[in-house]
Amino acid sequence: MVREGKPCLYIRLRRKASVRKGNVVHLRHIAQIFVEPEYEKALNELVIHHPQHEDGNRVLIDMMLIVRKVKDLYPQLQIEHFGEPHVLLEIISDPRKPSPILIGLVWLLLFIGSGLAIMNFHADVSMLEVHQRIYELMTGKKVEHPLILQIPYSLGIGVGMVIFFNHLFKKKFNEEPSPLEVEMFMYQENINHYVITEEYIKIHEKGDRP
């Protein structure tokens, strides 16, 4: 309940935020705020955290820390919080220039691996024999390599993969996420959940120390 006559700070933390390595974390980096104009600038520039080397590349900032920082600056402010009780802060290092040799090696590895997977699958299901039988049923002739079926089938595999993953290099055909993007999103969500749990354990351990 907000007391009459006292200014109020409405705050909503972002689910995830990022800051470059070596920079301090201000409130504007991790939250959206609504407050009286005379408090807004100072609160946006309020320093919440100084990233340290031992923090690694992810830091959990809890709402209680923000409340303490705000109350130290403006004790008279009433705080109304919406949304998540924490924000996961990612410390970003300066990006490295990608190595063409490394990119080429990864591309070659993926190309060979995917090719072997497709060939092994076709060997398991006897795809060549299936094509030979289909060609024999359609034409009445038996041939060793029914190219009229194999060539369109091979092209169809490539086209089907492009449509399935909804990507051709950097171009997307529509706004729907591809299965790979969904899997990557779920993977990232699981990582974030794990990091948040571990960070809360560390916070509680620090709080229990005399």
Q: Give me the pLDDT at residue 169, please.
A: 65
pLDDT of residue 96 exceeding 70, the answer is yes
pLDDT of residue 2 exceeding 50, the answer is no
Highest mean pLDDT among 4-18, 29-43, 93-107: 29-43
Average of per-residue pLDDT values in the chain = 84
Which segments of 125-178 does DSSP mark as H helices, in order?
Answer: 127-139, 147-165
How buried is 35 (Cβ within 10 angstroms: 0-12 exposed, 13-18 middle, 19+ buried)? buried
Q: What is the mean pLDDT of residues 8-16?
A: 90
Which position has the higher pLDDT, 4 or 193? 193
What does the DSSP 8-state code read for residue 183?
Answer: H
Q: pTM score, two decimals?
A: 0.63
Q: What is the mean pLDDT of residues 33-45?
A: 91
Neighbours of 131 (CB within 10 A): 19
pLDDT above 90 covers a percentage of the chain that reads 18
pLDDT of residue 44 exceeding 80, the answer is yes
Which position has the higher pLDDT, 140 or 167? 140
**Residues 165-198: b if buried by 16+ CB within 10 A, e if exposed:** ebeeeeeeeeeeebeeeeeeeeeeeeebeebbee
pLDDT band with cut points at 50, 70 and 90 for residue 70: very high
Which position has the higher pLDDT, 204 or 208? 204
pLDDT of residue 109 exceeding 90, the answer is yes
Q: Give me the pLDDT at residue 5, please.
A: 65
Q: Give me the pLDDT at residue 205, please.
A: 65
Query: Residue 82 forms beta bridges with which residues?
Result: 12
Q: Give me the pLDDT at residue 11, please.
A: 92
Q: What is the mean pLDDT of residues 164-168?
A: 72
pLDDT above 70 covers a percentage of the chain that reads 92
